[in-house]
């Protein structure tokens, strides 16, 4: 990758701004000042510093966010806050995007990546990546519901694949059920629609896990962190992607 493209992708300025920075001698690669904007660099291997300060030059970022309620899963919105507003601006310029979506009122784990292929594979219906949700639903659910979920539910426009429903607690007084459901698809409003088809309204929905990743209990709502190497490896395995870093 050209040095000017590398810096622009990292959000260090526009192409013309970073070219000027490079010509001014502000950029060093592997400790050597480089004044040629077209200089060939390897963001995975080369070290980068700007004005003498070491920079994190990785252009692939992979993030876990604890999505709060009230925030849209969208790249941008003119009126409402989106999950992208919770990440630093440079993550957007690096092309870091949410993998799938959660409804505005849903909380829990949301994964972001700059790796389009990884994202595509994780979302592919053929991959059957498991997602586990905790739901507070109206009504007292029982084994009839568990059986219904396990058979797959006809939702009119499609039949949801069999899902695992575990009833954690029922409360006859308030007429509610706390349950966990594990699905392998990600269709629009799928979990809420499955509960509705069984005659229960979802009042609160929280995603606890996405594929092999559990929401970090130390991550407060609205906060995010980069995936650990182990988490990324597990995610890539779930996507059946060979580990390029290991092979290199």
* CA quadruple 192, 193, 194, 200: dihedral sign: positive
* Cβ count near 22 (within 10 Å): 23
Q: Provide the 3-class DSSP secondary structure of residue 85.
A: helix
Among residues 9, 106, 107, 176, the one that binds ligand URA under rule CB under 6 A: 106
* Of 8-16, 102-110, 112-120, 221-229: span binding ligand URA (CB under 6 A): 102-110
* Of 57-65, 99-107, 159-167, 225-233: span binding ligand URA (CB under 6 A): 99-107
Q: Taking CB under 6 A as the rule, does residue 192 contact ligand URA?
A: yes
Q: How far apart are CA 164 and CA 203, in angstroms?
A: 19
Closer residue to ligand URA (CB): 42 or 201: 201
Report the catalytic residues.
103
Closer residue to ligand URA (CB): 91 or 133: 133
End-to-end C-alpha distance for the chain, whole angstroms: 17
Closer residue to ligand URA (CB): 65 or 191: 191
Closest among 139, 141, 131, 76 to 106, alpha carbons compared: 131
Closer residue to ligand URA (CB): 26 or 190: 190
Contact 7/27 with Cβ under 8 angstroms? yes
Q: How far is the CB of 106 from ligand URA (least distance, A)?
A: 3
Q: How far is the CB of 215 from ligand URA (least distance, A)?
A: 14
* Of 58-66, 81-89, 101-109, 211-219: span binding ligand URA (CB under 6 A): 101-109
Among residues 90, 103, 180, 216, the one that binds ligand URA under rule CB under 6 A: 103
Closer residue to ligand URA (CB): 12 or 206: 206
Distances, alpha carbon 33 to alpha carbons 23, 39, 49, 109, 125, in Å: 10, 11, 9, 41, 48
Q: How far is the CB of 203 from ligand URA (least distance, A)?
A: 12
Distances, alpha carbon 240 to alpha carbons 14, 89, 117, 121, 204, in Å: 36, 30, 11, 8, 32
Among residues 18, 48, 72, 102, the one that binds ligand URA under rule CB under 6 A: 102
Among residues 15, 51, 189, 244, the one that binds ligand URA under rule CB under 6 A: 189
Closest among 109, 63, 135 to 215, alpha carbons compared: 109
Half-sphere exposure (CA, 13 Å, Cβ side) for 167? 19
Q: Taking CB under 6 A as the rule, does residue 205 contact ligand URA?
A: yes
Number of H helices, E strands in the chain: 8, 13
Residues that bind ligand URA (CB under 6 A): 102-103, 106, 189-192, 205
């Amino acid at each position: 990758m050209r040095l000017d493209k590398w810096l622009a992708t990292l959000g260090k300025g526009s192409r013309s701004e970073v070219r000027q920075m490079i010509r001014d001698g502000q950029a060093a690669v592997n400790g050597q000042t480089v004044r040629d904007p077209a200089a060939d660099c390897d963001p995975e291997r080369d070290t980068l510093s700007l004005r003498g300060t070491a920079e994190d030059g990785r252009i692939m970022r992979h993030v876990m966010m604890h999505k709060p309620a009230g925030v849209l899963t969208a790249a941008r919105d003119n009126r409402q806050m989106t999950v992208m507003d919770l990440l630093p601006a440079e993550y957007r310029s690096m092309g870091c995007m949410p993998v799938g979506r959660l409804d505005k009122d849903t909380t829990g784990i949301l994964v972001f990546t700059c790796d389009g292929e990884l994202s595509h594979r994780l979302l592919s219906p053929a991959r059957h990546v498991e997602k586990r949700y905790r739901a507070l639903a109206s009504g007292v659910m029982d084994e009839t519901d568990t059986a219904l979920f396990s058979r797959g539910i006809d939702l009119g426009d499609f039949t949801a694949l069999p899902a695992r429903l575990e009833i954690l607690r029922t409360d006859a007084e308030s007429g509610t059920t706390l349950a966990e459901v594990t699905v392998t698809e990600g269709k629009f409003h799928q979990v809420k629609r499955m509960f509705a088809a069984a005659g229960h309204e979802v009042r609160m929905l929280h995603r606890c896990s996405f594929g092999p990743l559990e929401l970090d209990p130390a991550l407060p709502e609205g906060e995010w962190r980069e995936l650990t190497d182990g988490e990324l490896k597990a995610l890539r395995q779930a996507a059946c992607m060979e580990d390029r870093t290991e092979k290199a």
